[in-house]
Structure 1
Amino acid sequence: MNFEELRDFLNEKADVYNNAEFIQDDPIQIPHRFSVKQDIEIAGFLAATISWGNRKAIIKSADKMLDMMGNSPYDFVLNHTDNDLKSIESKSIHRTFNGEDFAYFIRQFNRIYKDNESLENLFKINNAETNFYHSIERFRTSFLQAEKHRSHKHVSSPYKNSSSKRIIMFLRWMVRNDQRGVDFGIWETIDQKHLSIPLDVHTGNISRTLGLISRTQNDWKAVVELDEAVRKFDKNDPAKYDFALFGLGVTKELL
Protein backbone atom coordinates (compact mmCIF):
# COMPACT_ATOMS: atom_id res chain seq x y z
CA MET A 1 0.00 0.00 0.00
CA ASN A 2 1.16 3.53 -0.70
CA PHE A 3 0.91 6.32 1.88
CA GLU A 4 -2.67 7.36 1.06
CA GLU A 5 -3.91 3.77 0.89
CA LEU A 6 -2.34 2.88 4.23
CA ARG A 7 -3.70 6.04 5.87
CA ASP A 8 -7.21 5.35 4.56
CA PHE A 9 -6.98 1.69 5.58
CA LEU A 10 -5.93 2.57 9.15
CA ASN A 11 -8.56 5.32 9.43
CA GLU A 12 -11.20 2.81 8.40
CA LYS A 13 -10.05 0.23 10.95
CA ALA A 14 -9.83 2.84 13.71
CA ASP A 15 -13.38 3.92 12.95
CA VAL A 16 -14.67 0.35 13.23
CA TYR A 17 -13.34 -0.19 16.76
CA ASN A 18 -13.55 3.29 18.23
CA ASN A 19 -17.10 3.08 19.56
CA ALA A 20 -19.00 2.22 22.72
CA GLU A 21 -19.08 -1.50 21.90
CA PHE A 22 -15.31 -1.58 22.43
CA ILE A 23 -15.80 -0.80 26.13
CA GLN A 24 -17.63 -3.96 27.21
CA ASP A 25 -14.69 -6.34 26.71
CA ASP A 26 -11.83 -3.98 27.51
CA PRO A 27 -10.23 -2.89 30.83
CA ILE A 28 -11.41 0.65 30.04
CA GLN A 29 -14.81 -0.53 31.26
CA ILE A 30 -13.46 -0.23 34.84
CA PRO A 31 -13.11 3.59 34.93
CA HIS A 32 -16.28 3.88 32.83
CA ARG A 33 -18.24 2.83 35.89
CA PHE A 34 -17.57 6.22 37.46
CA SER A 35 -18.43 9.85 36.76
CA VAL A 36 -16.24 11.73 39.29
CA LYS A 37 -12.89 12.73 37.79
CA GLN A 38 -10.76 11.35 40.63
CA ASP A 39 -12.66 8.05 40.69
CA ILE A 40 -12.04 7.71 36.95
CA GLU A 41 -8.33 8.47 37.37
CA ILE A 42 -7.74 6.03 40.23
CA ALA A 43 -9.82 3.20 38.74
CA GLY A 44 -8.22 3.82 35.34
CA PHE A 45 -4.67 3.87 36.63
CA LEU A 46 -5.15 0.67 38.62
CA ALA A 47 -6.83 -1.13 35.70
CA ALA A 48 -4.08 0.01 33.33
CA THR A 49 -1.37 -1.05 35.77
CA ILE A 50 -2.54 -4.68 35.73
CA SER A 51 -3.29 -4.74 31.99
CA TRP A 52 -1.18 -7.63 30.84
CA GLY A 53 -2.45 -11.08 29.95
CA ASN A 54 -6.04 -12.12 29.27
CA ARG A 55 -8.48 -9.20 29.19
CA LYS A 56 -11.19 -11.11 31.08
CA ALA A 57 -8.70 -11.89 33.84
CA ILE A 58 -7.61 -8.24 33.97
CA ILE A 59 -11.21 -7.07 34.38
CA LYS A 60 -11.85 -9.70 37.06
CA SER A 61 -8.76 -8.58 39.01
CA ALA A 62 -9.73 -4.92 38.66
CA ASP A 63 -13.21 -5.79 39.97
CA LYS A 64 -11.52 -7.31 42.99
CA MET A 65 -9.64 -4.07 43.69
CA LEU A 66 -12.81 -2.01 43.34
CA ASP A 67 -14.60 -4.30 45.80
CA MET A 68 -11.79 -3.82 48.32
CA MET A 69 -12.27 -0.06 47.98
CA GLY A 70 -16.02 -0.30 48.49
CA ASN A 71 -16.46 0.71 44.83
CA SER A 72 -15.58 4.28 45.86
CA PRO A 73 -11.90 4.64 44.87
CA TYR A 74 -11.38 8.33 45.66
CA ASP A 75 -13.17 8.15 49.03
CA PHE A 76 -11.17 5.06 49.96
CA VAL A 77 -7.88 6.67 48.95
CA LEU A 78 -8.59 9.68 51.15
CA ASN A 79 -10.25 7.98 54.12
CA HIS A 80 -8.89 4.42 54.45
CA THR A 81 -7.54 3.20 57.78
CA ASP A 82 -4.32 1.36 58.54
CA ASN A 83 -6.39 -1.76 59.18
CA ASP A 84 -7.96 -1.43 55.73
CA LEU A 85 -4.51 -1.54 54.14
CA LYS A 86 -3.30 -4.36 56.38
CA SER A 87 -6.25 -6.41 55.20
CA ILE A 88 -5.40 -5.65 51.57
CA GLU A 89 -1.69 -6.47 51.91
CA SER A 90 -2.36 -10.17 52.39
CA LYS A 91 -4.59 -10.49 49.33
CA SER A 92 -3.80 -11.85 45.88
CA ILE A 93 -4.61 -9.36 43.12
CA HIS A 94 -3.24 -10.05 39.62
CA ARG A 95 -0.18 -12.10 38.78
CA THR A 96 2.88 -10.32 40.21
CA PHE A 97 0.82 -7.30 41.30
CA ASN A 98 -0.13 -8.37 44.83
CA GLY A 99 -1.85 -6.90 47.87
CA GLU A 100 1.36 -5.27 49.06
CA ASP A 101 1.63 -3.44 45.74
CA PHE A 102 -2.03 -2.40 45.86
CA ALA A 103 -1.68 -1.02 49.39
CA TYR A 104 1.47 0.85 48.35
CA PHE A 105 -0.38 2.45 45.43
CA ILE A 106 -3.20 3.52 47.77
CA ARG A 107 -0.70 5.23 50.09
CA GLN A 108 0.91 7.04 47.16
CA PHE A 109 -2.47 8.16 45.82
CA ASN A 110 -3.39 9.45 49.28
CA ARG A 111 -0.25 11.58 49.45
CA ILE A 112 -0.66 12.91 45.91
CA TYR A 113 -4.35 13.81 46.17
CA LYS A 114 -3.72 15.76 49.36
CA ASP A 115 -1.67 18.18 47.26
CA ASN A 116 -3.30 17.82 43.83
CA GLU A 117 -6.86 17.93 42.63
CA SER A 118 -6.00 15.60 39.75
CA LEU A 119 -3.25 13.29 38.50
CA GLU A 120 -3.24 15.55 35.46
CA ASN A 121 -0.97 17.93 37.37
CA LEU A 122 1.76 15.26 37.44
CA PHE A 123 1.72 14.61 33.70
CA LYS A 124 1.96 18.14 32.31
CA ILE A 125 3.90 18.50 29.07
CA ASN A 126 6.54 21.23 28.86
CA ASN A 127 6.71 23.49 25.82
CA ALA A 128 9.69 21.86 24.13
CA GLU A 129 8.37 18.31 24.56
CA THR A 130 6.59 16.39 21.81
CA ASN A 131 5.67 13.21 23.71
CA PHE A 132 5.34 11.90 27.26
CA TYR A 133 8.94 10.66 27.59
CA HIS A 134 9.94 13.18 30.28
CA SER A 135 6.41 13.56 31.61
CA ILE A 136 6.11 9.87 32.51
CA GLU A 137 9.46 9.97 34.25
CA ARG A 138 8.46 13.07 36.25
CA PHE A 139 5.27 11.32 37.28
CA ARG A 140 7.18 8.18 38.18
CA THR A 141 9.52 10.18 40.42
CA SER A 142 6.59 11.93 42.12
CA PHE A 143 4.55 8.77 42.54
CA LEU A 144 7.29 6.43 43.75
CA GLN A 145 9.55 8.95 45.50
CA ALA A 146 13.09 7.97 46.47
CA GLU A 147 12.31 4.98 48.66
CA LYS A 148 12.96 1.54 47.23
CA HIS A 149 9.93 -0.73 47.08
CA ARG A 150 8.95 -3.86 45.18
CA SER A 151 6.08 -1.93 43.57
CA HIS A 152 8.43 0.22 41.49
CA LYS A 153 8.55 -2.47 38.82
CA HIS A 154 4.87 -1.85 38.11
CA VAL A 155 5.48 1.74 36.99
CA SER A 156 7.64 1.55 33.88
CA SER A 157 10.43 3.99 33.06
CA PRO A 158 10.94 5.30 29.52
CA TYR A 159 14.37 6.47 30.71
CA LYS A 160 15.21 2.76 30.96
CA ASN A 161 13.93 2.33 27.39
CA SER A 162 10.66 0.68 28.44
CA SER A 163 7.77 1.12 26.04
CA SER A 164 5.70 2.09 29.14
CA LYS A 165 2.70 0.52 27.42
CA ARG A 166 0.35 0.56 30.40
CA ILE A 167 0.97 4.20 31.34
CA ILE A 168 0.64 5.27 27.70
CA MET A 169 -2.68 3.43 27.53
CA PHE A 170 -3.85 5.20 30.70
CA LEU A 171 -2.82 8.54 29.19
CA ARG A 172 -4.84 7.81 26.07
CA TRP A 173 -7.88 7.15 28.23
CA MET A 174 -7.50 10.39 30.19
CA VAL A 175 -6.34 12.80 27.46
CA ARG A 176 -7.90 11.76 24.18
CA ASN A 177 -11.28 13.33 23.41
CA ASP A 178 -13.12 12.69 20.17
CA GLN A 179 -16.70 12.42 21.48
CA ARG A 180 -16.89 8.74 20.49
CA GLY A 181 -17.50 7.59 24.06
CA VAL A 182 -14.48 5.32 24.58
CA ASP A 183 -11.71 7.62 25.80
CA PHE A 184 -12.61 10.12 28.51
CA GLY A 185 -10.79 13.31 27.53
CA ILE A 186 -11.06 14.68 31.07
CA TRP A 187 -7.53 16.12 31.10
CA GLU A 188 -8.18 19.26 29.14
CA THR A 189 -4.82 21.00 29.68
CA ILE A 190 -2.84 18.32 27.82
CA ASP A 191 -3.02 18.17 24.02
CA GLN A 192 -3.76 14.75 22.55
CA LYS A 193 -1.27 15.40 19.75
CA HIS A 194 1.46 14.37 22.23
CA LEU A 195 -0.02 10.89 22.78
CA SER A 196 1.70 7.71 21.63
CA ILE A 197 0.33 4.25 20.86
CA PRO A 198 0.61 1.63 23.63
CA LEU A 199 3.16 -0.78 22.22
CA ASP A 200 3.01 -4.48 23.06
CA VAL A 201 3.63 -7.74 21.22
CA HIS A 202 0.46 -7.49 19.13
CA THR A 203 0.61 -3.82 18.14
CA GLY A 204 4.34 -4.20 17.54
CA ASN A 205 3.89 -7.15 15.19
CA ILE A 206 1.06 -5.48 13.27
CA SER A 207 3.11 -2.28 12.98
CA ARG A 208 6.04 -4.21 11.52
CA THR A 209 3.79 -6.04 9.08
CA LEU A 210 2.46 -2.69 7.86
CA GLY A 211 5.95 -1.22 7.65
CA LEU A 212 5.25 1.40 10.32
CA ILE A 213 8.29 0.40 12.37
CA SER A 214 11.46 -1.52 11.62
CA ARG A 215 12.85 -1.87 15.13
CA THR A 216 12.57 -5.47 16.36
CA GLN A 217 12.24 -4.67 20.09
CA ASN A 218 9.07 -3.28 21.65
CA ASP A 219 10.84 -0.55 23.58
CA TRP A 220 10.71 3.24 23.83
CA LYS A 221 12.76 3.67 20.67
CA ALA A 222 10.10 1.69 18.82
CA VAL A 223 7.39 3.89 20.39
CA VAL A 224 9.14 6.95 18.97
CA GLU A 225 9.47 5.29 15.56
CA LEU A 226 5.76 4.48 15.55
CA ASP A 227 5.01 8.07 16.67
CA GLU A 228 6.79 9.41 13.62
CA ALA A 229 4.85 7.09 11.31
CA VAL A 230 1.29 7.62 12.58
CA ARG A 231 1.68 11.37 13.10
CA LYS A 232 2.14 11.65 9.35
CA PHE A 233 -1.38 10.24 9.00
CA ASP A 234 -2.93 12.49 11.67
CA LYS A 235 -0.67 14.86 13.60
CA ASN A 236 -3.52 16.04 15.85
CA ASP A 237 -4.84 12.63 16.93
CA PRO A 238 -2.14 9.97 16.43
CA ALA A 239 -3.37 7.70 19.24
CA LYS A 240 -6.60 6.89 17.39
CA TYR A 241 -4.55 4.40 15.40
CA ASP A 242 -4.29 2.28 18.54
CA PHE A 243 -7.85 1.18 17.73
CA ALA A 244 -6.81 0.21 14.22
CA LEU A 245 -3.80 -1.83 15.35
CA PHE A 246 -5.87 -3.45 18.09
CA GLY A 247 -8.58 -4.38 15.61
CA LEU A 248 -6.13 -5.84 13.14
CA GLY A 249 -4.60 -7.86 15.97
CA VAL A 250 -7.98 -9.25 17.03
CA THR A 251 -9.15 -10.15 13.53
CA LYS A 252 -5.72 -11.44 12.46
CA GLU A 253 -6.56 -9.89 9.10
CA LEU A 254 -2.92 -9.43 8.18
CA LEU A 255 -1.62 -12.79 9.39
Structure 2
Amino acid sequence: MADFDVKDFLDRKVELFNQPGFIANDPICIPHMFSLKQDIEIMGFFASILAWGQRKTIINKCKELIDRFGGEPYRFVMEHQDVDLRQLLGFKHRTFNDTDLLYFVAFLRFHYERFSSLEDAFLIHRQYGEPFSMERALNEFKAYFFSLPDHPIRTKKHISSPLQKSSCKRLNMFLRWMVRGDKKGVDFGLWNRIAAQDLICPCDVHVERVARHFGLISSDKVNWKTAVELTNNLKAFDPLDPVKYDFALFGIGVEGEI
Protein backbone atom coordinates (compact mmCIF):
# COMPACT_ATOMS: atom_id res chain seq x y z
CA MET A 1 0.00 0.00 0.00
CA ALA A 2 2.98 2.28 0.64
CA ASP A 3 3.78 2.18 -3.08
CA PHE A 4 0.26 3.22 -4.10
CA ASP A 5 0.34 6.35 -6.27
CA VAL A 6 -2.98 8.24 -6.17
CA LYS A 7 -2.12 10.43 -9.17
CA ASP A 8 -1.14 7.45 -11.31
CA PHE A 9 -4.30 5.59 -10.30
CA LEU A 10 -6.57 8.56 -11.04
CA ASP A 11 -4.78 9.28 -14.33
CA ARG A 12 -5.52 5.74 -15.47
CA LYS A 13 -9.16 6.12 -14.45
CA VAL A 14 -9.43 9.40 -16.36
CA GLU A 15 -8.27 7.55 -19.48
CA LEU A 16 -10.78 4.80 -18.81
CA PHE A 17 -13.84 7.01 -18.30
CA ASN A 18 -13.04 10.03 -20.51
CA GLN A 19 -14.12 8.13 -23.62
CA PRO A 20 -17.09 8.37 -26.03
CA GLY A 21 -18.61 5.31 -24.36
CA PHE A 22 -19.17 7.45 -21.25
CA ILE A 23 -21.63 9.69 -23.09
CA ALA A 24 -24.65 7.43 -23.66
CA ASN A 25 -25.53 6.85 -19.99
CA ASP A 26 -24.69 10.32 -18.71
CA PRO A 27 -26.73 13.56 -18.94
CA ILE A 28 -24.00 14.95 -21.20
CA CYS A 29 -25.59 12.84 -23.95
CA ILE A 30 -28.33 15.49 -24.17
CA PRO A 31 -26.24 18.37 -25.55
CA HIS A 32 -24.44 15.82 -27.73
CA MET A 33 -27.70 15.43 -29.65
CA PHE A 34 -27.11 18.86 -31.23
CA SER A 35 -24.58 20.59 -33.46
CA LEU A 36 -25.68 24.25 -33.22
CA LYS A 37 -23.68 25.99 -30.50
CA GLN A 38 -26.71 27.63 -28.88
CA ASP A 39 -28.66 24.34 -28.84
CA ILE A 40 -25.70 22.67 -27.12
CA GLU A 41 -25.52 25.47 -24.57
CA ILE A 42 -29.25 25.53 -23.85
CA MET A 43 -29.71 21.78 -23.49
CA GLY A 44 -26.41 21.42 -21.65
CA PHE A 45 -27.65 24.03 -19.22
CA PHE A 46 -31.00 22.28 -18.71
CA ALA A 47 -29.37 18.84 -18.46
CA SER A 48 -27.05 20.08 -15.71
CA ILE A 49 -29.77 21.93 -13.79
CA LEU A 50 -32.04 18.87 -13.89
CA ALA A 51 -29.19 16.52 -12.94
CA TRP A 52 -30.31 15.05 -9.70
CA GLY A 53 -31.76 11.59 -9.21
CA GLN A 54 -31.20 8.58 -11.45
CA ARG A 55 -29.30 9.37 -14.63
CA LYS A 56 -31.80 7.46 -16.77
CA THR A 57 -34.66 9.58 -15.43
CA ILE A 58 -32.69 12.81 -15.95
CA ILE A 59 -31.99 11.87 -19.57
CA ASN A 60 -35.63 10.97 -20.22
CA LYS A 61 -36.89 14.24 -18.76
CA CYS A 62 -34.43 16.20 -20.89
CA LYS A 63 -35.63 14.34 -23.99
CA GLU A 64 -39.19 15.25 -23.03
CA LEU A 65 -38.11 18.87 -22.79
CA ILE A 66 -36.52 18.70 -26.25
CA ASP A 67 -39.82 17.39 -27.62
CA ARG A 68 -41.68 20.26 -25.96
CA PHE A 69 -39.23 22.62 -27.69
CA GLY A 70 -40.15 21.04 -31.02
CA GLY A 71 -36.67 19.57 -31.35
CA GLU A 72 -35.08 23.02 -31.77
CA PRO A 73 -34.38 24.58 -28.34
CA TYR A 74 -32.67 27.76 -29.56
CA ARG A 75 -35.28 28.43 -32.22
CA PHE A 76 -38.06 27.89 -29.69
CA VAL A 77 -36.40 30.25 -27.18
CA MET A 78 -35.95 33.00 -29.74
CA GLU A 79 -39.06 32.68 -31.91
CA HIS A 80 -41.83 31.40 -29.63
CA GLN A 81 -45.07 33.31 -29.28
CA ASP A 82 -47.07 33.37 -26.06
CA VAL A 83 -49.36 30.63 -27.36
CA ASP A 84 -46.35 28.34 -27.90
CA LEU A 85 -45.55 28.44 -24.19
CA ARG A 86 -48.54 26.16 -23.62
CA GLN A 87 -46.30 23.34 -24.84
CA LEU A 88 -44.22 23.74 -21.69
CA LEU A 89 -47.10 23.56 -19.21
CA GLY A 90 -47.11 20.44 -17.07
CA PHE A 91 -43.38 19.81 -17.28
CA LYS A 92 -41.97 18.60 -13.97
CA HIS A 93 -38.80 16.97 -12.67
CA ARG A 94 -38.46 16.69 -8.93
CA THR A 95 -39.05 20.23 -7.63
CA PHE A 96 -38.43 21.86 -11.02
CA ASN A 97 -41.80 22.67 -12.60
CA ASP A 98 -43.35 24.64 -15.45
CA THR A 99 -43.17 27.93 -13.53
CA ASP A 100 -39.41 27.49 -13.32
CA LEU A 101 -39.20 26.39 -16.95
CA LEU A 102 -41.10 29.43 -18.22
CA TYR A 103 -38.73 31.75 -16.37
CA PHE A 104 -35.67 29.90 -17.66
CA VAL A 105 -36.96 30.34 -21.22
CA ALA A 106 -37.65 34.03 -20.58
CA PHE A 107 -34.12 34.56 -19.27
CA LEU A 108 -32.54 32.66 -22.16
CA ARG A 109 -34.40 34.80 -24.69
CA PHE A 110 -33.39 37.95 -22.82
CA HIS A 111 -29.75 36.85 -22.83
CA TYR A 112 -29.54 35.62 -26.43
CA GLU A 113 -31.09 38.84 -27.68
CA ARG A 114 -27.95 40.53 -26.35
CA PHE A 115 -25.21 37.91 -26.70
CA SER A 116 -24.47 35.05 -29.08
CA SER A 117 -23.24 32.69 -26.36
CA LEU A 118 -24.24 31.73 -22.84
CA GLU A 119 -20.57 32.08 -21.91
CA ASP A 120 -21.10 35.83 -21.60
CA ALA A 121 -23.51 35.22 -18.71
CA PHE A 122 -20.57 33.94 -16.66
CA LEU A 123 -18.32 36.87 -17.57
CA ILE A 124 -20.41 39.71 -16.16
CA HIS A 125 -17.72 40.72 -13.65
CA ARG A 126 -15.15 40.92 -16.45
CA GLN A 127 -17.15 43.83 -17.88
CA TYR A 128 -15.87 45.80 -14.89
CA GLY A 129 -12.28 45.00 -15.87
CA GLU A 130 -11.77 42.51 -13.05
CA PRO A 131 -9.61 39.37 -13.40
CA PHE A 132 -11.55 36.14 -13.76
CA SER A 133 -12.75 34.57 -10.53
CA MET A 134 -15.01 31.51 -10.62
CA GLU A 135 -16.50 32.41 -7.24
CA ARG A 136 -17.34 35.90 -8.46
CA ALA A 137 -18.51 34.55 -11.83
CA LEU A 138 -21.06 32.23 -10.23
CA ASN A 139 -22.30 34.87 -7.80
CA GLU A 140 -22.71 37.41 -10.60
CA PHE A 141 -24.35 34.80 -12.83
CA LYS A 142 -27.09 34.18 -10.27
CA ALA A 143 -27.69 37.90 -9.84
CA TYR A 144 -27.84 38.34 -13.62
CA PHE A 145 -30.08 35.29 -14.09
CA PHE A 146 -32.67 36.75 -11.74
CA SER A 147 -32.38 40.33 -12.97
CA LEU A 148 -35.64 40.13 -14.93
CA PRO A 149 -38.54 41.88 -13.15
CA ASP A 150 -41.09 39.70 -11.36
CA HIS A 151 -38.93 36.56 -11.39
CA PRO A 152 -40.52 33.72 -9.39
CA ILE A 153 -39.01 33.50 -5.93
CA ARG A 154 -39.40 29.72 -5.98
CA THR A 155 -37.13 29.46 -9.03
CA LYS A 156 -34.13 30.89 -7.18
CA LYS A 157 -33.50 27.55 -5.48
CA HIS A 158 -32.54 26.04 -8.84
CA ILE A 159 -29.53 28.32 -9.37
CA SER A 160 -26.93 27.99 -6.65
CA SER A 161 -24.02 30.29 -5.80
CA PRO A 162 -20.96 30.36 -3.55
CA LEU A 163 -22.62 33.22 -1.67
CA GLN A 164 -25.06 30.60 -0.35
CA LYS A 165 -22.06 28.40 0.56
CA SER A 166 -23.25 25.91 -2.08
CA SER A 167 -20.73 23.68 -3.85
CA CYS A 168 -22.55 24.66 -7.08
CA LYS A 169 -22.27 21.10 -8.39
CA ARG A 170 -24.65 21.51 -11.33
CA LEU A 171 -23.22 24.79 -12.61
CA ASN A 172 -19.67 23.51 -12.22
CA MET A 173 -20.61 20.42 -14.22
CA PHE A 174 -22.15 22.56 -16.97
CA LEU A 175 -19.03 24.72 -17.09
CA ARG A 176 -16.84 21.64 -17.34
CA TRP A 177 -18.84 20.46 -20.34
CA MET A 178 -18.60 23.82 -22.10
CA VAL A 179 -15.00 24.79 -21.24
CA ARG A 180 -12.90 21.63 -21.20
CA GLY A 181 -11.71 20.51 -24.60
CA ASP A 182 -9.59 17.49 -25.50
CA LYS A 183 -9.49 14.85 -28.22
CA LYS A 184 -11.66 12.40 -26.32
CA GLY A 185 -14.94 13.92 -27.50
CA VAL A 186 -16.87 13.94 -24.21
CA ASP A 187 -16.56 17.57 -23.08
CA PHE A 188 -17.26 20.15 -25.79
CA GLY A 189 -14.60 22.84 -25.39
CA LEU A 190 -17.03 25.35 -26.91
CA TRP A 191 -15.90 28.29 -24.80
CA ASN A 192 -12.46 29.89 -24.86
CA ARG A 193 -12.74 32.90 -22.56
CA ILE A 194 -12.83 30.76 -19.41
CA ALA A 195 -9.76 28.59 -18.85
CA ALA A 196 -9.89 24.93 -17.81
CA GLN A 197 -7.54 25.76 -14.93
CA ASP A 198 -10.19 28.11 -13.50
CA LEU A 199 -12.90 25.44 -13.32
CA ILE A 200 -14.07 24.02 -10.00
CA CYS A 201 -14.64 20.28 -9.70
CA PRO A 202 -18.33 19.29 -9.45
CA CYS A 203 -18.75 17.74 -6.02
CA ASP A 204 -21.59 15.21 -6.04
CA VAL A 205 -22.04 12.29 -3.64
CA HIS A 206 -19.87 9.91 -5.69
CA VAL A 207 -17.05 12.42 -6.15
CA GLU A 208 -17.18 13.43 -2.49
CA ARG A 209 -17.00 9.85 -1.23
CA VAL A 210 -14.07 8.86 -3.44
CA ALA A 211 -12.21 12.14 -2.89
CA ARG A 212 -12.57 11.76 0.85
CA HIS A 213 -11.23 8.19 0.62
CA PHE A 214 -8.07 9.50 -1.06
CA GLY A 215 -7.64 12.37 1.38
CA LEU A 216 -8.48 15.03 -1.19
CA ILE A 217 -11.20 16.48 1.06
CA SER A 218 -10.73 17.19 4.75
CA SER A 219 -13.94 19.08 5.61
CA ASP A 220 -16.85 17.09 6.99
CA LYS A 221 -19.26 19.31 5.04
CA VAL A 222 -19.88 19.71 1.33
CA ASN A 223 -19.96 23.38 0.40
CA TRP A 224 -18.10 25.87 -1.77
CA LYS A 225 -14.94 25.64 0.32
CA THR A 226 -15.02 21.86 -0.03
CA ALA A 227 -15.23 22.09 -3.82
CA VAL A 228 -12.35 24.60 -3.86
CA GLU A 229 -10.26 22.42 -1.54
CA LEU A 230 -10.82 19.39 -3.78
CA THR A 231 -9.93 21.37 -6.90
CA ASN A 232 -6.78 22.79 -5.34
CA ASN A 233 -5.66 19.29 -4.38
CA LEU A 234 -6.35 18.07 -7.91
CA LYS A 235 -4.23 20.93 -9.24
CA ALA A 236 -1.26 19.21 -7.63
CA PHE A 237 -1.84 16.42 -10.18
CA ASP A 238 -2.58 18.69 -13.16
CA PRO A 239 -2.53 22.47 -12.61
CA LEU A 240 -3.86 23.26 -16.10
CA ASP A 241 -6.73 20.77 -16.19
CA PRO A 242 -7.60 19.67 -12.63
CA VAL A 243 -11.28 19.01 -13.35
CA LYS A 244 -10.46 16.15 -15.74
CA TYR A 245 -10.27 14.08 -12.55
CA ASP A 246 -14.02 14.46 -12.21
CA PHE A 247 -14.22 11.57 -14.69
CA ALA A 248 -12.10 9.37 -12.43
CA LEU A 249 -13.72 10.28 -9.11
CA PHE A 250 -17.26 10.02 -10.46
CA GLY A 251 -16.59 6.84 -12.44
CA ILE A 252 -14.95 5.07 -9.49
CA GLY A 253 -17.87 6.08 -7.28
CA VAL A 254 -20.58 4.95 -9.69
CA GLU A 255 -18.90 1.59 -10.27
CA GLY A 256 -18.51 1.06 -6.53
CA GLU A 257 -14.80 0.43 -6.73
CA ILE A 258 -14.21 2.32 -3.48
Establish whether TM, by shorter chain, passes 0.5.
yes
- Contact 2:197–2:239 (8 Å) recurs in 1: yes
- Structure 2 vs 1, CA of residues 120 and 219 (structure 1 numbering), >3 Å: closer, same or farther? same
**How big is the alpha-carbon RMSD for the aligned residues of Structure 1 and Structure 2?**
1.7
Question: CA offsets, 1:47-76, max 9 Å, x none?
Answer: 110000100000010011100001101000
- Contact 1:163–1:219 (8 Å) recurs in 2: yes
Query: SS state of the match for residue 219, structure 2?
Result: coil
Match for residue 103 of structure 1?
Answer: 102
Match for residue 15 of structure 1?
Answer: 15
Query: SS state of the match for residue 5, structure 2?
Result: helix
Question: CA offsets, 1:69-125, max 9 Å, x none?
Answer: 011010000011112224423x13211111111111001100000001101112137
Aligned equivalents of 2:61, 2:174: Cα separation in 1: 17
Q: Which runs of 5+ in 2 are unaligned?
A: none
Deviation at 1:4, TM superposition (A): 8.1
Are residues 1:34 and 2:34 paired?
Answer: yes
Are residues 1:51 and 2:55 paired?
Answer: no
Match for residue 171 of structure 1?
Answer: 175
- Contact 1:201–1:218 (8 Å) recurs in 2: no
Match for residue 115 of structure 1?
Answer: 114
Question: CA offsets, 1:162-185, max 9 Å, x none?
Answer: 011000000000000012100000
Question: TM-score, structure 1 length as denominator?
Answer: 0.94
* 2:137 maps to which of 135, 138, 141: 135
- Structure 2 vs 1, CA of residues 60 and 135 (structure 1 numbering), >3 Å: closer, same or farther? same
Aligned equivalents of 1:51, 1:3: Cα separation in 2: 37
Equivalenced residue count is 252
* 1:210 maps to which of 210, 214, 223: 214
- Contact 2:181–2:187 (8 Å) recurs in 1: yes
Are residues 1:181 and 2:180 paired?
Answer: no
- Contact 1:88–1:100 (8 Å) recurs in 2: no
Question: TM-score, structure 2 length as denominator?
Answer: 0.93
Deviates more, 1:91-100 or 1:227-236: 91-100
Question: CA offsets, 1:195-249, max 9 Å, x none?
Answer: 1111012211111111001111111010111011000100000110000001110
* 1:194 maps to which of 194, 198, 202: 198
- Structure 2 vs 1, CA of residues 85 and 215 (structure 1 numbering), >3 Å: closer, same or farther? same
What letter corresponds to residue 104 of structure 1 in structure 2? Y
- Contact 2:30–2:47 (8 Å) recurs in 1: yes
- Contact 1:64–1:93 (8 Å) recurs in 2: no
Match for residue 162 of structure 1?
Answer: 166
Deviation at 1:148, TM superposition (A): 4.6
Deviation at 1:2, TM superposition (A): 7.0
Query: SS state of the match for residue 25, structure 1?
Result: coil
Question: CA offsets, 1:122-158, max 9 Å, x none?
Answer: 21375644x5111111111111116452111101111
Match for residue 72 of structure 1?
Answer: 72
Are residues 1:239 and 2:238 paired?
Answer: no
Match for residue 82 of structure 1?
Answer: 82
